[in-house]
Amino acid sequence: MHLIQPLLLVAFLIALVVYLRFLRSSLRDRLLGLFFFGIACAAVLVPDSTQRVADLVGVGRGTDLTFYLFAVGFVFFAVLMVSKLSRLNRSLTEVVRRVAIIEAEPTGTEHPRSLGMDQPAGPDRTRL
């Protein structure tokens, strides 16, 4: 076993533990994380395996295949982040807006909960 192998395995393991321990996510996401962890470990422990898959799909070297997959994964990740960010931004807008309106209320006349209920709801009003 080369020195790089345990190093990579430890790095993957830390990432997995951090993900499972500190980031709450759905069971599906956790299983997906475990799945990718498994694949990564297999690729490290059996270096030949990426080469065999590469031959199978018509890529010259296993390293190249790994790189391509990484690129694809990164693009997915970026798109996911951008859409998450924009959803977060919409929620933030809604919160800041409501705080601004509640603060402007003459105190005690109205329960904050009734906010916005007396307006006709547009089609997108409730979608954040």
- Site for another protein, rule CB under 8 A: 82-83, 86, 89-90, 92-93, 96-97, 99-101, 103-104, 115-116, 118-120, 122, 124-125
Nearer to another protein, 25 or 89 (CB): 89
Smallest distance, another protein to C-beta of residue 120, A? 5
CA distance 96 to 100: 6
In a 3-state reduction of DSSP, which class is residue 110?
Answer: coil
**How far is Cα of residue 78 from the mean position of the Cα atoms in its chain?**
9
Q: Of 48 and 118, which CB lies nearer to another protein in the complex structure?
A: 118
Tabulate helix, strand, coil % of the chain (nearest 5).
75, 0, 25
Closest distance to another protein from the beta carbon of 92 (Å): 8
Token pair, residue 105, equals 């209320």
Nearer to another protein (CB atom), residue 5 or residue 83: 83
Taking the complex as a whole, how short is the minimal distance between the CB of residue 81 and another protein, in angstroms?
12
Alpha-carbon Rg for the chain, nearest whole angstrom, is 24
